[in-house]
Structure 1
Amino acid sequence: MQDETTLNVKKQQETASGMSLYFRLLGYVKPSIVYFLLSVFGYILYSSMQPALAALLKYIVDVVSNGTVVEGRMLIPMAILGVFLVRGVGTFLGSYCMAKVANNVVFDLRTSMFNKMVTLPSSYFNNMPSGRLLAKLTYDTERVIDSVTQAIQVILREGLTVIGLLGYMLFINWRLSLLFLFVIPIIGLVVRYASKRFRKLSLKIQNAMGGVTDVASEAIKGHEVIKIFGGNEYETRRFYKAVQENRRSQLKMELTKALNVPIIQFIVAISLSLLIWMALDPAISSSMSAGDFVAFIGAAGMLSKPMRQLTSVNSILQKGIAAAQSIFAFLDLDSEKDTGSKTADRLKGDISWKGLTFSYPGMDKNALSDVTLSLPAGKKLALVGRSGSGKSTLANLIPRFYDVNDGCLFIDDENINDYLLDDLRKNIALVNQQVVLFNGTIQENIAYGGLKDASEEEVIEAAKAANAWGFIQELELGLQTLVGENGVLLSGGQRQRLAIARAILKNAPILILDEATSALDTESERAIQQALDKLMENRTTIAIAHRLSTIENSDIIAVVDHGQIVEMGSHSELLAKNGAYAQLHNQQFSDIAE
């Protein structure tokens, strides 16, 4: 008994959840309420013409049976033209205005999702494949537009038509019309079962579609690796499995839909057959004129099409609700926390880590353990160590890509959590090992985001300082040259120099260089290093490097191993210790000598 009660509660919650999701979705209609009301008015015009046709049919039969054809000869054709003219106007108003509403809804949803996406914490992007995000922005929103346009369109147009026809039938003979009320609960049970299955299958299809976009996105980005390492067959199998899962779920959806519609149609047909059988009873038909009888049967026959379409709309509606569930779950995610209240116009750049411990979300092992380190303003800190030792993590905590678990990180004697996030990041410039460029011009990539108001002269000066102006001048369009997706039309060294030019243009007091010269040839590296040395003057710099030759002049060198600082000092001091740094130095330079 308890299990049955629990099951009933769960069913009620699912129904309530579906309704609340759809009502929340309809909340996006509010800005377009005028178009929505015009659409409703259009469908009222359309649906009112169905009973008008039945009434016109009654009039024609009565005119013919009474022998007054001459009087109705002009009126009937004009009435027919009027009915179809009003239907046409209603169809146009309903369809166009509803399409306008739906496109506005999808526009608002997509912009809301993108606005949410750029505020999400870094941990979300690390755990969510890019293909899934793209599927939410494209596939899920397309399902929503169907549920707003097609579903509401059918519900309004066909629903009002059913109401109008039933009302007219009740007007002619209410006893016969009541028969239809008995089949409505049966239809409701069929629709209820189908709704749950549609929703469940729609969620499966969405997940499968996310898998398709995941594999496709990875194959596009890694096409060179696929070719070199013979991954064609492996990626083909992965894509086949993803598409197969999508196809399987889609076919189950179509099977349910294919069974749902004829079952309901058959129930309606049974009720119509009974209705006509009863209407043909002389005891009943004797109280009706010939026109009434024909009009009643005609109106009953007209009910079949709108009722069939009303039942078929259920699958579209459930797809939209399932898509809305995915979209609203995304929109309800917590944005990046900004707990700060302190403004920071321009920081001095005095940084200190005190007893800092950090682990990535979902990971048990600490990436950093009890790190204590001080970096005076204007000085250069070099972080060295093996890959995965925690160097990048130590630097990435400064712009608060992640929040510290234990301990504190201070800038200018203020906890970084106390600064407003935007103000904190305005004081930091970053050059990653994996350079990120956007599909725009060279000028747009150097003067990116908050730097967009920089003059062309300032952009050129930054490019010169980064040793990038030489190759930019050789390009036909110069600064207006398109770089392609992630700078694919440029070489690795050119991309790196544009990223350095962007950091130079920002002129921030804190500079983070994560393998900033790794993609440069020896000649460019030397020129860039000179530019960086000049850039780093009077700026607090954290440089992460594998090439120890690039950081020998650093004020402080910290050797990081397994998330801890094992050695710290200047280049000469650490060599004199003959410890971990000396071992790395000797190993690297012996490799170069060989």
Structure 2
Amino acid sequence: MNKFHTDKNKSFQVLKKLLTYLLKYKTRMGLALLSLVLAKIATVGIPVLLKEIVDYITVFQSKKESIDGVNDFISVPVVLIIGYGLMRFASTAFSELRELIFARVTQSSVRDISLQVFSHLHHLSLRFHLEKKTGSLTRDIERGTRGVSTMVNFTLYSIFPTFVEVILVIGWLAINYEPIFFLITSIALLFYVSYTILVTNWRTSLRRKMNELDSKANSGAIDSLMNYETVKFFNNESYELDRYNVNLLQWQEAAIKNQSSLAFLNLGQALIIATAVTLIVWQAIAGVMQDQLTLGDLVLINAFMIQLYIPLNFLGVLYREIKQSIADMEKLFSLLEKKTEVTDIPNANLLKVSNGQLIFRSVSFSYDKRRAILKDLDFELIPGKTTAIVGKSGAGKSTLAKLIYRFYDVENGKIEIDGQNIKNVTQSSLRSEIGIVPQDIVLFNDSLKNNIQYANTNATIEEIMKVIGASNLGTFVSSLPEGIDTVVGERGLKLSGGEKQRVAIARVLLKKPSILIFDEATSALDSVSERAIKSQIREISKGRTSLIIAHRLSTIVDADMIYVFDKGRIVERGSHDQLLKQKGHYLRLWTIQAEAKDI
């Protein structure tokens, strides 16, 4: 019972939130609902006019009118027939008008929600994106936006029209006929809706199981095909086929149960409808035989029943789809409720950089409270000079770049740029003054030009070509058939490691930042590429505050100041020569790399 109330409350909250987006277009919604009501009035009016036509013809035939009667027959039914035709046209016309008016509401609402979610995701912390699977995230967004469209369309185009028609028909029966007609129709509707909801809830669990088995079979098949060579190496084609067959058999059984449950639902619905229609027609025929009802009344009541129960045949599908849509929208809206860890303070100032002096003052940080990453750090990046951070893997070196960019906030201490605590300035102004060449360079599946221009979307083609030359990409670009318009592939996979590094350097040059960060920028390169990139790093760092985070010590021997990290602390500091003379951690790292020929 508690679960039922919880689910009901969640559904209500989701629908309430959806309504806030729809109400932005309340004028269009009002016009669409008016069109809907007018369409249903016309729909109900069709059998009413048909009744009048049948009654008139019946009376005319029974009296066998004279020539004057024939004139009446010609005049009166023509008016009714024209009215009948107009009602049919009005029913369709107002329905189409409703769709035309509401189409913009549906699509605009989907767009508004998609934009808000997309913007919110970009403002969420790095921790959220590292913990959330991208595929799962995109599926939640896709299903959620589709759920919005499905919910709105089914509600306006199926459920609400049927509800209005039911009210009009039952109201007409209650006012114009014996209570028995109203009672039979109402009781049948109650049984029909209750039966449909109960069976559909049962079918939903079967459908969910079938979908899970379908996903299991498909993922197994894809995994097997992706590991085609491994299957061949171990001669396991028969084993893979047997595994796939087991999954398919499980899915087959679930699919048969699901189809059987659909037949059970349809048979039950048909039985309720057939019973109700039979009882109503029986009562109507009895009324005609007793002269309490006319033949036109019989036609009207029968037409009402057909008109009423045909759309109800889809109630099970609608109910299931709406439940699924609400569940999908709940996941989508839950993304909007995620709180970001890093926020700007109220009325935050813009960062003003004069020299580019960056200072860590007693900074401590941890991703997990149980394990500290940085412990009470104090160091300075001297304006216009190159500072290097070295140490073993896991020492906390790359975390520094994330803290400077303010992807995370420090737990203790503060980071200052030219005397300004970075917590007190806007994130946008902070990040606009920093440029980075990361260890793992990921490019958009777009042209080389657009990937470089991403650093400054207003840059001219001349500026782009200038940084291409400065980053030694010119020869490479000229060798490409499409030049700078060449698409680099997903994540830049069409480029080599060295080429991607040069693209990253070109981007940084185009951005013209005050502070430069090189985070393991040459770790994945061979010796030849490393020497070329190291030369470029040295060149573009001139006159800028630069931080080089490195594992290979050969890349930082020219740095003005080197800090040696170990277990989240600075254990040594000085120039390359000074550190070698200290005969400590730095010398041990240098010796190990020299022996491994990694220098």
Any conservation in 2 of the 1:512–1:541 contact (CA below 8 Å)? yes
Alpha-carbon distance in 1 for matches of 2:243, 2:512: 46
Is contact 1:264-1:311 (8 Å) kept? no
Which residue identity does 2:155 align to in structure 1?
A
Picking from 140, 160, 164, the partner of 1:160 is 164
Residue 298 (structure 2) aligns with: 293
How far 1:235 moved relative to its partner? 12
- Mapped contact 1:39–1:97 kept (Cα < 8 A): yes
Aligned to 1:562: 567
Q: Match of 1:409?
A: 415
Q: How much has 1:184 moved relative to structure 2?
A: 4.7
Q: 1:348 aligns with which of 333, 351, 355?
A: 355
* Greater shift in the superposed pair: 456-465 or 544-553: 456-465
For residue 392 of structure 1, the aligned residue among 386, 398, 408 is 398
Whether the 8 Å CA contact 2:284–2:297 is kept in 1: the answer is no
1:355 counterpart letter in structure 2: S
Structure 1 residue 52 displacement after superposition = 2.0
Q: Note closer, same or farther for the CA distance 1:237–1:244 as it changes in structure 2 (3 Å cut).
A: same
Aligned partners of 2:242 and 2:29: how far apart in 1?
Answer: 47
Equivalent of 1:498 in 497, 500, 503: 503
**Structure 2 residue corresponding to 1:483, chosen from 488, 497, 504:** 488
Pair 1:130–1:155, CA change in 2 (3 A): same
Identify the match of residue 536 of structure 1 among 527, 530, 541: 541
Cα displacement string for residues 438-457 of structure 1 (whole angstroms, at most 9, x for unaligned residues): 222222222215x1122222
| Residues 321-371 of structure 1 deviation map (CA, whole Å, 9 limit, x = unaligned) | 11110110011111353234132132533222233222215x632222333
Counterpart for residue 171 of structure 1? 175
Q: Give 3-state SS (helix, strand or coil) of 1:403's partner.
A: coil
Match of 1:63 in 2: 56
Distance between the aligned counterparts of 1:206 and 1:370, measured in 2?
52
State which of 424, 432, 435 in structure 1 corresponds to 2:438: 432
Kept in 1: contact 2:357–2:545 (CA 8 A): yes
Over 3 Å counting, the alpha-carbon distance change for 1:420 and 1:140 in structure 2 is same
The Cα offsets for residues 25-77 of structure 1, whole Å up to 9 and x where unpaired, read as 13222344444344334433432233222213312321232126743564455
Helix, strand or coil at the partner of 1:86: helix
Q: CA deviation at 1:203?
A: 8.9
Which amino acid is 2:88 matched to? Answer: F
Quote how far apart the aligned CAs of 1:518 are.
Answer: 3.4
From 129, 136, 151, the equivalent of 2:155 is: 151
Tell me the distance in 1 between the aligned counterparts of 2:201 and 2:466. Answer: 63
Q: Deviations over 1:486-515 (max 9, x none)?
A: 222322211110101111222212111012
Any stretches of 5+ residues in structure 1 without a counterpart? 1-6
| Residue equivalent to 2:462 | 457
SS of corresponding position for 1:93: helix
Kindly state the Cα deviation for residue 289 of structure 1 after the two structures are TM-superposed.
2.3
* Identity among equivalent pairs (%): 29
Tell me how far apart the structure 2 counterparts of residues 515 and 193 of structure 1 sit (CA, whole Å).
60
Please say if 1:447 is aligned against 2:453.
Answer: yes
2:521 counterpart of 1:512: no
Distance (Å, rounded) in 1 between the aligned partners of 2:142 and 2:547: 40
The whole-number CA distance in structure 2 between the counterparts of 1:358 and 1:307 is 61
Q: Matches of residues 328-367 of structure 1 in structure 2 within 5 Å?
A: 328-335=333-340, 337-340=342-345, 341-361=348-368, 364-367=370-373
Q: Distance in 2 between matches of 1:426 and 1:125?
A: 21
- Equivalent residues, number: 584
CA-to-aligned-CA distance 1:388-418 (integer Å, 9 cap, x gap): 2211012221111111123332332332211
Supply the RMSD in Å over aligned alpha carbons.
Answer: 4.0
Aligned to 1:127: 131
Q: Quick one: distance in 1 between partners of 2:126 and 2:372?
A: 17
Query: Counterpart of 2:443 in 1: which secondary structure?
Result: coil
Is 1:422 equivalent to 2:428 in the alignment? yes
Q: Deviations over 1:161-196 (max 9, x none)?
A: 222222332233041233133345545544665676
Q: 1:356 to 1:259 in 2, by over 3 A?
A: farther
Is the CA contact (8 Å cut-off) linking 1:46 and 1:90 kept in structure 2? yes
Greater CA drift, 259-268 or 365-374? 259-268
Q: 1:212 to 1:91 in 2, by over 3 A?
A: farther
Bigger radius of gyration, 1 or 2? 2
Q: State the distance in 2 between where 1:396 and 1:562 align.
A: 17
Question: Structure 2: which amino acid aligns with 1:307?
Answer: L
Give me the whole-angstrom Cα distance separating, in 2, the residues matched to 1:469 and 1:223: 39
CA distances 1:304-326 after superposition (whole Å, capped 9, x unpaired): 11333345421121111111101
Distance 1:246 1:500, change over 3 A: farther
The 3 A distance-change label for structure 1 pair 593 and 85 is closer
Structure 1 counterpart SS, 2:314? helix
Q: Which of these residues, 272, 276, 280, is aligned with residue 275 of structure 1?
A: 280
Question: Which deviates the most, 233-242 or 336-345?
Answer: 233-242
Give how far 1:585 is off. 0.8
SS in 2 for 1:397: helix
User: Which residue of structure 2 aligns with residue 3 of structure 1?
Assistant: none
Q: Do 2:224 and 2:231's aligned partners in 1 also have CA atoms closer than 8 Å?
A: no
Cα–Cα, structure 1 residues 593 and 443, in superposed 2: closer, same or farther, change >3 Å? closer
| Distance across 2 between alignment mates of 1:429 and 1:186 | 67
Looking at structure 1, the residues matched to 241 and 103 of structure 2 have their Cα atoms a distance apart, in angstroms, of: 38
Deviations 1:233-272 (A, max 9, x none): 9999999999999999998887776655554453344333
1:213, distance to aligned residue in structure 2 (A):
11
* Code of the aligned partner of 2:422: I
Distance 1:116 1:245 in 2: 40
The amino acid of 1:529's aligned partner reads K
Answer yes or no: is the 8 Å Cα contact 1:135–1:210 preserved in 2. Answer: no
Whether the aligned pair in 2 keeps the contact of 1:161 and 1:306 (CA below 8 Å) is no
Partner of 1:592, secondary structure, is coil
The letter for the 2-side match of 1:509 is: S
Q: State the SS of the aligned residue for 2:375.
A: strand
Q: What is the CA–CA distance in structure 2 between the aligned matches of 1:146 and 1:251, rounded to whole Å?
A: 27
Question: What residue in structure 1 maps to residue 553 of structure 2?
Answer: 548
1:10 deviates by 4.9
Unaligned stretches of 5+ in structure 2?
A: 62-69
Letter in 2 for 1:478: G
* 1: CA distance, partners of 2:518 / 2:210: 43
- Of stretches 240-249 and 280-289 in structure 1, the one that deviates more from structure 2 is 240-249
Match of 1:50? 43
Structure 1 residue 218: deviation in Å?
11
Q: 1:322: which partner in 2?
A: 327
Q: Tell me the equivalent position of 1:381.
A: 387
Q: Which amino acid aligns with 1:28?
A: Y
Moved more, 403-412 or 281-290: 281-290
Task: State the distance in 1 between where 2:528 and 2:165 align.
Answer: 78
